[in-house]
Structure 1
Amino acid sequence: MTTPSLESIEIESGPNPTAAVIWLHGLGADGNDFVPIVRELDLSGCPAIRFIFPHAPTMPVTINYGYVMRAWYDILGTDLTNREDEAGLRKSQMLVEELIAREKARGIPAGRIVLAGFSQGCAMTLQTGLRHPEKLAGLLGLSGYLPIHTKLPAERHAANQDTPVFLAHGRSDPIVPVQRAEMSRDFLQTLGYEVEWHTYPMDHSVCEEEIADIGAWLQRVLA
C-alpha cells in the first residue's frame, strides 16, 4: 500500500469501518480543526465510519503577506474568482486522490467514500470529487466555493454526475460571501448536479443546526 504524502488524524466510529469520510480543513488550520465534530454527529443507522483529517501542506499565502501556514493552495487576493492558484489547486487535488486511493487499498470502495471540507477544504472537495473517475458516496462542502469553475464543464467526470452534493454557508460570512457560494450552487445546478443547499445565521464558522443537518445527510448517503 502506498503511503499518502499527507499526515492525517484518524477516528473510527466503530470497529472494521466500511465507509470513510475524508475531511479537509480550511486555510491556516490543520486536521485537528474538525475532529471534535465527529462526537457531535448523529450517525445512528450508519455503518462504522473511518474519519480522516489530513493536514494540508505549508506554504506562503499571498493574501496574508506571504506568511507560511497550512493551505491547500495560495489565495492571491480577496476576489476568489478572477485570480486563482490553479497550479496549487491541481497539486492538492493529487494529494486528496492519494487519500482516496489509500482507503480503497484498505478495502473501502470509492462508492463508500465521502469527501468533505470547510472553506478551502470545500473548494478542494469540489475540485477533486467532481473530477474523480469513480462514483463517490457524496461531496460535503461547508463555507466554501467552486474553484476554477470555467474548467469544470470540460474536466468533470460522468461518474460523479449523480453524486449527492451538500453545500452549506453562513449568511453573514465575511471571508467567503454567501453570494459567492450561491454562484457555485447555481453553476453546479446548470450542469445538472443535484445540490442540497443550506444557509445558517452565522459567519465563517459551523453551528449546531448545521451539524445536525450534516449528520442527517451522512445517514442518507452512507446508510
Structure 2
Amino acid sequence: MNMAAAVTLQRNVVSQTGKHTASVIFLHGSGDTGPGLLRWVCDVFGQNLAFENIRLIYPTASARPYTPMKGAQSHVWFDRHKISQDCPEHLESIDSMCNSLSAIVQDEIRAGIPKHRMIIGGFSMGGAMALHMACRYHQDVAGVFALSSFLNKDSVVYQAVESSAQCPLPELFQCHGAADELVFHSWGEETNALLKKAGLNTYFHSIPNLNHQLCGQELELLRSWILKKLSL
C-alpha cells in the first residue's frame, strides 16, 4: 500500500433503517461526485438504494488534473493516459487513491463492520477503482461490483487475482449496457473473461439498448445481489 498521507474524502451516506450490520461503498464515474451519483440512483430507481441493515457510502473523488481532458481539473479516482484498454495504467494515482479509500474501510471497521460484511463497487471509472481496491488491497470483502467498467489489458489486477487464486477472493458482479459506445461493451466482457480466467468468481449481465448509464433493471439486479451477499 502506498503509505503517502491519505486524502480525506467527502462522503454522502444513506443510512440503514435498522441495526447497522454491513456497508456498501459506491464509487461514482469520472467527472461526477458522491452527491451526483446518489441523485442519479434515486432518479433512475425511483427511490434511494436503501436497506434495513446496510449502510451505503458515496464518496467523492478529489478534483485533480485529468490527462484525457488535457489536464483540466476533474473529480476522477485516478488519471488515465487515455481512455483505452491498450495503454499502461497510471498506477501512482491509482495506488494513492486506494490509500485514501482504505481510510473509509477502516472507519467502517471501527464502527463494528468486519470486511467480510462490506462490498465495494462503482460505475464506470468507479468500477475500475473498486476492482483495484477489492482484488489488490481488500480481498476479504464480501464482493465487488463494476457497472459499465473495464480494466486495461495489462492491469495489475489480473496479476493480483492470479497470485491469490488459492485464497478466498471477493465475488464480482458486473453489468454493462449493450449499446455503450463510450466504454465499449466488449471491453467490459473482456475484463470479466480475464478476471474469471485468473480465478475470480464472476457474473456478467448485458443490458440491451443501454448506453453508458444506469437503469432500473440494472439497479434491481444489483440490489438483489447485494442482499444475497450481505444477508444475515
The normalised TM-score by structure 1 is: 0.89
The yes-or-no answer on 1:60 pairing with 2:65 is: yes
Question: Counterpart in 1 of 2:31?
Answer: 28
Is the aligned partner of 1:184 residue 2:187? no
2:177 aligned residue (149, 167, 170): 170
Alignment of 1:110-149 (within 5 A): 110-147=115-152, 149=154
2:92 aligned with 1:87: yes
Cα offset for 1:162? 3.8
Q: Is the partner of 1:13 in helix, strand or coil? A: coil
Aligned residues: 218
Q: Closer, same or farther in 2 for the Cα pair 1:172/1:199, shift >3 Å?
A: same
Q: Which whole-Å CA distance do the structure 2 matches of 1:121 and 1:88 have between them?
A: 14
- What per-residue deviation string (whole Å, max 9, x for no partner) do you get for residues 157-182 of structure 1? 46974422100101111221011111
Percent identical residues: 25
The answer to whether structure 1 residue 194 and structure 2 residue 201 are counterparts is yes
Q: Which runs of 5+ in 2 are unaligned?
A: 1-5
Residue 49 of structure 1 pairs with residue 54 of structure 2: yes
Q: Secondary structure at the match of 2:32?
A: coil
**Alpha-carbon distance in structure 1 between the residues aligned to 2:73 and 2:103:** 24
Give, in angstroms, the shift of residue 109 of structure 1.
0.5
Question: Please, what TM-score do these two structures have when normalized by structure 2?
Answer: 0.86
**What is the SS of the residue equivalent to 1:130?**
helix
The answer to whether the aligner puts 1:8 opposite 2:11 as a matched pair is: yes
Which residue in 1 is equivalent to 2:110? 105
Could you tell me whether the CA contact under 8 Å between 2:172 and 2:203 is conserved in 1? yes
Residue 61 of structure 1 aligns with an amino acid whose one-letter code is Y
Cα gap change, 1:210/1:133 in structure 2, threshold over 3 Å: closer, same or farther? closer
Residue 139 to residue 72, structure 1, CA distance change in 2 (3 Å): same
The CA deviation at 1:57 is 1.3
Taking the aligned partners of 1:169 and 1:32, their CA distance within structure 2 comes to 22
